[in-house]
């Protein structure tokens, strides 16, 4: 079936948006490495946007900018090349004397003082963690900006019983997970994944009689909706709901519950889930630190969800459960597409929130003690910090190359899984 023009535009916009988000998040990460490396006297040979091959580059030498074409050597080997590269997959910094990625890390004795290995160990530590710091900082700035615009109340998250949060006042709400086929909810047109805000009995007035409509009752717990339906004795109720957790558009739908003999009560036929948002407006301290507090809450939320998933995978003896929870660039692109399609007037806000979450996730992944990642590089610095002696250069190189190969293999597997899921 051929794609419509509208569908094609959405796909192209999704690809463009995903590329921009990835470029921003990786650029901020590499900018951290770049700035701290420069501060510690380490030469950054190249600061690239996108991945090689190089499309074009520039280099500033003696207050003059020089064009560096693909494959062309630098005008001055002690100055940074700023490049645009053909593959729009983030970016990179190339530190002089750094062989972590298998480049070799050969150092000209003439420029020994500019090499990464010549920087003090605490300077190298700062360089390694700078990218992670910048990603966390980006997330905090975005969250703070979004919270300020909404009175320091966050967006909603689906709440699992085993998940807890440290900061902010929790504000509970209720969402629709699914709708039973043939149910009153389906007949009335209640959308799945909607958020229920309020409910009230439908007021029936005799002709030419003035009567007052029933007051709305706020729904903050699943029992609120169940109790109202039961209390109303199966009579029609009006529900005010939000189209979905991303789209702020409100709608009002009237639904007539039906008696369910098995449950022995009137029902509308929806499966409900708890949602939670965080109110950071209660104190000046909460407002001032709402950005880092919310970043902590979300990172903690994601880690707890992963723990629950992995525990379920182990209990079931099925690694596929945990495998489905892992995603790469293709999975992120799908999330971006879903955000674009479902957000309505809140698309920019939701994309910013997603950017912050991706930035936090990148920070967390990079600080893991896996060779070739920033956390693995930090781990290899610990013996030197404790003893004052550098570890064997060949050993370090083998460890990092092994980690690099492992990460590439894992990326290929995850990407294959994500692509496979696209066509299932």
pLDDT tens readout for residues 147-171? 999 999 999 888 876 788 999 999 9
- Taking residues 376-380, what's their average pLDDT? 91
- Taking residues 311-336, what's their average pLDDT? 69
How far is the C-alpha of 152 from the C-alpha of 159, rounded, in Å? Answer: 20
- Note the pLDDT of residue 24: 93
- Taking residues 272-290, what's their average pLDDT? 93
**In the block, residue with structure tokens 């939320």:** 301
CA trace torsion 244, 247, 250, 252 (10° rounding): -30
Lowest mean pLDDT among 59-73, 220-234, 283-297: 220-234
- Note the pLDDT of residue 230: 83
Lowest mean pLDDT among 22-31, 218-227, 286-295: 218-227
pLDDT score of 104 more than 60: no
How far is the C-alpha of 180 from the C-alpha of 260, rounded, in Å? Answer: 12
How far is the C-alpha of 152 from the C-alpha of 171, rounded, in Å? Answer: 12
- Note the pLDDT of residue 418: 58
pLDDT score of 190 more than 60: yes
- Note the pLDDT of residue 43: 95
Under a CB-based contact definition with an 8 Å cutoff, are residues 47 and 34 in contact?
A: yes
Q: What is the mean pLDDT of the chain?
A: 86
Share of the chain above pLDDT 70, in %: 90
- Note the pLDDT of residue 3: 66
How far is the C-alpha of 266 from the C-alpha of 271, rounded, in Å? Answer: 14
Lowest mean pLDDT among 195-204, 238-247, 316-325, 361-370: 316-325
- Taking residues 262-273, what's their average pLDDT? 85
Residue 329 to residues 266, 324, 411, 415, Cα–Cα distance (Å): 45, 14, 9, 7
Lowest mean pLDDT among 13-17, 260-264, 325-329: 325-329
Structure tokens at 119: 């920087």
- Note the pLDDT of residue 101: 40
Q: Residue 238 — φ and ψ, nearest 5°?
A: -105, 130
Q: Residue 201: which pLDDT band, with cuts at 50, 70 and 90?
A: confident
- Taking residues 189-204, what's their average pLDDT? 88
- Note the pLDDT of residue 207: 60
What secondary structure does DSSP assign to 137-206, as a single string?
Answer: HHHHHHHHHHHHTTTTBPPPEE--TT---SSSEEEEEEEEEEE-TTSHHHHHTPPTT-EEEEEEEPP---
- Note the pLDDT of residue 279: 96
- Note the pLDDT of residue 102: 36
- Taking residues 69-73, what's their average pLDDT? 87
Structure tokens at 229: 């339906």
Lowest mean pLDDT among 30-44, 175-189, 193-207: 193-207
Q: What angle do CA 423, 358, 342 make, to 5 degrees?
A: 55
- Note the pLDDT of residue 327: 62
How far is the C-alpha of 16 from the C-alpha of 311, rounded, in Å? Answer: 36
Highest-confidence segment of 26-30, 154-158, 228-232, 393-397: 26-30
Q: 126-137, pLDDT tens digit by residue?
A: 999 999 999 999
Of 363, 273, 297, 355, the C-alpha closest to 153 is 297
Structure tokens at 38: 């420069």
- Note the pLDDT of residue 320: 63
How far is the C-alpha of 350 from the C-alpha of 360, rounded, in Å? Answer: 15
Under a CB-based contact definition with an 8 Å cutoff, are residues 259 and 234 in contact?
A: yes
Query: Bigger pLDDT: 399 or 284?
Result: 284
Strand order in the sheet with 44-61: 64-68, 44-61, 81-95
- Note the pLDDT of residue 114: 93
Of 296, 293, 352, 361, the C-alpha closest to 145 is 352
pLDDT score of 323 more than 70: no
- Taking residues 366-387, what's their average pLDDT? 89
Residue 373 to residues 39, 77, 84, 116, 366, Cα–Cα distance (Å): 21, 26, 23, 16, 5
- Taking residues 92-102, what's their average pLDDT? 75
């Amino acid at each position: 079936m051929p794609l419509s023009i509208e569908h094609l535009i959405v796909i192209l916009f999704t690809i463009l948006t995903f590329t921009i988000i990835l470029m921003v998040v990786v650029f901020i990460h590499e900018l951290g490495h770049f700035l701290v490396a420069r501060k510690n006297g380490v030469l950054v040979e190249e600061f690239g946007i996108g991945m090689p091959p190089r499309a074009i580059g520039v280099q500033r030498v003696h207050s003059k900018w020089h064009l560096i074409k693909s494959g062309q050597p630098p005008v001055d080997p002690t100055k940074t090349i700023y490049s645009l590269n053909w593959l729009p997959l983030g970016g990179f910094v190339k530190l002089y004397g750094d062989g972590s990625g298998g480049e070799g890390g050969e150092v000209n004795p003439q420029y020994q003082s500019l090499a990464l290995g010549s920087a003090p160990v605490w300077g190298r530590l700062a360089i390694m963690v700078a990218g992670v710091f910048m990603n966390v900082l980006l997330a905090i700035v975005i969250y703070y900006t979004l919270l300020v615009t909404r009175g320091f109340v966050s967006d909603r998250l689906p709440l699992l019983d085993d998940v807890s949060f440290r900061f902010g006042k929790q504000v509970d709400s209720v969402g629709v997970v699914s709708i039973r086929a043939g149910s009153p909810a389906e007949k009335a047109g209640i959308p799945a994944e909607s958020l229920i805000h309020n409910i009230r009995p439908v007021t029936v007035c005799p002709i030419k009689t003035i009567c007052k409509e029933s007051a709305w009752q706020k729904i903050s717990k699943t029992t609120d909706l169940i109790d109202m339906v039961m209390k109303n004795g199966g009579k029609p109720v009006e529900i005010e709901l939000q189209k979905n957790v991303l789209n702020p558009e409100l709608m009002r739908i009237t639904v007539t519950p039906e008696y369910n003999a098995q449950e022995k009560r009137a029902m509308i036929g929806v499966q409900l889930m708890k949602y939670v948002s965080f109110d950071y407006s209660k104190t000046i301290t909460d407002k001032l630190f709402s950005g880092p507090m919310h970043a902590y809450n979300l990172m903690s939320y994601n880690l707890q969800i992963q723990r629950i998933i992995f525990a379920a995978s182990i209990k079931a003896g099925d690694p596929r459960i945990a495998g489905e929870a892992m995603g790469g660039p293709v999975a992120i692109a799908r999330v971006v597409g879903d955000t674009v399609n479902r957000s309505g007037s809140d698309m920019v806000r939701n994309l910013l929130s997603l950017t912050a979450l991706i930035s936090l996730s990148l920070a967390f992944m990079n600080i893991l003690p896996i060779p070739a990642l920033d956390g693995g590089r930090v781990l290899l610095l610990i013996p030197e910090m404790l003893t004052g002696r550098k570890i064997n250069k060949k050993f370090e190189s083998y460890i990092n190359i092994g980690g690099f190969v492992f990460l590439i293999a894992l990326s290929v597997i995850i990407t294959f899984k994500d692509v496979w899921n696209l066509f299932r």
